[in-house]
Amino acid sequence: MLINMKDLLKVAYENKFAVGSFNVANSEFVKVVITAAEEQNSPAIMQIHPNEIDLVTDGFIAYVREAASKSKVPFVIHLDHGATIKDITRSIRNGYTSVMMDASHLPFEENIAATKEAVELAHLVDVSVEGELGTIGSNEGSSEGGADEILYTNPEEAAIFVEQTGIDTLAVAVGTSHGIYPQSKDHSIKIDRLKQIHEKVKIPLVLHGGSDNPDEEIREAVKHGIAKINLSTDMKRAFYNQLRATLDANPNAYEPDQLMPEATKAATELVKKKMDLFGSTGKASLYKLGEI
């Protein structure tokens, strides 16, 4: 079943678990996320970044919608890091049920204005909106964006931002970065900062850069308002490390049915473990068809 982010995260927020939001940019990753969600009886989000949609083109979303709609567990199709109104309208036209307007690099008032414009548009057709305040970090190798130096979310400003924009979910900068962390970088999640934001902001919070963080910190973050966790690199690393090994072991194999199953299985196992960690395993039963 395909629903919007507001309805998906309301249940997660109230029941103190987080839903994984996985970047899918080919049919293998769609299969990975749907298989993992169904085996775990878990809700899940499939998200596509503007760089990824440029690669796979608009028609890919019809395939993702068809696959998600047919599933018995709840899914959202989400635009990851939309940067312009064109990204937002393109996603609405393609049939996403949720979009992110990331204007976090702009001054506060301009971020509010850009995000509010996206909300006014998306809410007309019941599409949910995620905004971002503060700036998430970026590690080498990730093309998701982010700043070299993290700009932590200010709790007071976060409350004003949510009120003035009307967003459904807020991405917060509390220490994580996109991609794999270099040894030298402090990447601990600042739980005190998160608690302060959670006290002021009464909508579900989003953690970007969910890869390569200690399980304990993720568990703690979920206790303090994080209801959506973006995860890309860990899943891709599991898939491509296995694909490289399969290719090395079988230099004359060219058929997808010889190359893909092991990589797909490795990524599916990783996603299932993350669903356990985020607390979403078994929670699909909390969503009552017909009530949403």
Q: Residues in the site for ligand 13P, rule: CB under 6 A?
A: 23, 80-81, 142, 144, 178-179, 208-211, 230-234
Of 71 and 142, which has the nearer Cβ to ligand 13P? 142
Nearest distance from residue 231's CB to ligand 13P, in Å? 4
Annotated ligand binding at 209? The verdict is: yes
Of 67 and 172, which has the nearer Cβ to ligand 13P? 172
Nearest distance from residue 68's CB to ligand 13P, in Å? 18
Annotated ligand binding at 276? The verdict is: no
Nearest distance from residue 232's CB to ligand 13P, in Å? 3
Q: What does the block give as tokens for 215?
A: 């399980």
Annotated ligand binding at 186? The verdict is: no
Distance of CA 45 to the CA centre of its chain: 7
CA angle (288 as vertex; 287, 290 as ends), nearest 5: 130
* CA 211 – CA 231 distance, rounded (Å): 6
Q: What are the Cα distances from residue 10, in Å, to 16, 64, 66?
A: 10, 23, 24
* CA 52 – CA 143 distance, rounded (Å): 10
Report whether 116 contacts 127 (CB < 8 A).
no
Of 100 and 287, which has the nearer Cβ to ligand 13P? 100
Which of the residues 7, 54, 58, 80 is marked catalytic?
Answer: 80
Annotated ligand binding at 268? The verdict is: no
Q: Is 54 considered catalytic here?
A: no
CA angle (151 as vertex; 148, 155 as ends), nearest 5: 160
Of 34 and 136, which has the nearer Cβ to ligand 13P? 136
Q: Which of 209, 174, 198, 205 is nearest to 188 (CA)?
A: 174
Nearest distance from residue 48's CB to ligand 13P, in Å? 10
Annotated ligand binding at 89? The verdict is: no
CA angle (3 as vertex; 101, 69 as ends), nearest 5: 120
**Residue positions annotated with a catalytic role:** 80
Which residues line the annotated binding site for Zn(2+)?
81, 102, 132, 178, 208
The binding site comprises: 81, 102, 132, 178-179, 208-211, 230-233
